[in-house]
Amino acid sequence: MRTVLAFLALVCAAFVATVQAVRALDEGPCAADANRLCAGIPAGDARLWDCLRRNEFQLSSACQRNIQEVQRRATEFSADCGPDVYRFCPRTPPGQGRVLQCLRVHAGRGELASNCEDAVVGALERLQDFSEACGPDAAALCAGVQPGGGRLFACLRSQSGQLSSRCRGAVNL
């Protein structure tokens, strides 16, 4: 059970971290550290998170705080949904939102713990809002970008000057 929960924490951390790392590269507290310590790793690549974590003791204090906040959020999601992932999604491979989609099937049926239900519904609402706000922008500005690993988000962030105001708001949340 501990192994499964640790695995879930890593999966959730990777998802949350990818989004946070992309934001940090553009203008956040880890931008200079990422450029200095992880040069050549694109913002939308989950390897950026791994690089920042490997170099944790060389990071600025602001970047360290940012990473700690990301880890705190991942830990909260793991605590909220760990038992439900173990119960309903033990063979679901991590990445590309598959664990979230597995849990979505059980949301609204009274099968998930209430705190996990809230976390899943909240995450799905944020994803839906993002999709509605940025779908047209992504189609026009990032047509050749393969979704997953934060690549689409990074593409949109890199073209912030051309985004619709609604998408710009969603990307800069």
Is a pLDDT exceeding 90 seen at residue 171?
no
Is 0.85 topped by the overall pTM?
A: no
Residue 47: its pLDDT value, please?
76
Of 14-18, 63-67, 152-156, where does mean pLDDT reach its minimum?
Answer: 14-18
CA distance 132 to 164: 12
How many angstroms separate the CA atoms of 52 and 33, rounded? 8
**Are 44 and 25 in contact, with CB atoms under 8 Å apart?**
no
**To the nearest whole number, what is the mean pLDDT of the chain?**
77
Give the DSSP H or E segment for 36. Answer: helix 31-37
**8 A C-beta contact, residue 21 and residue 49:** yes
What's 42's DSSP letter?
-
Q: What is the C-alpha to C-alpha distance for residues 57 and 40, in angstroms, rounded to an integer?
A: 20
Q: Categorize the per-residue pLDDT at 68 as very low, low, confident or very high, splitting at 50, 70 and 90.
A: confident
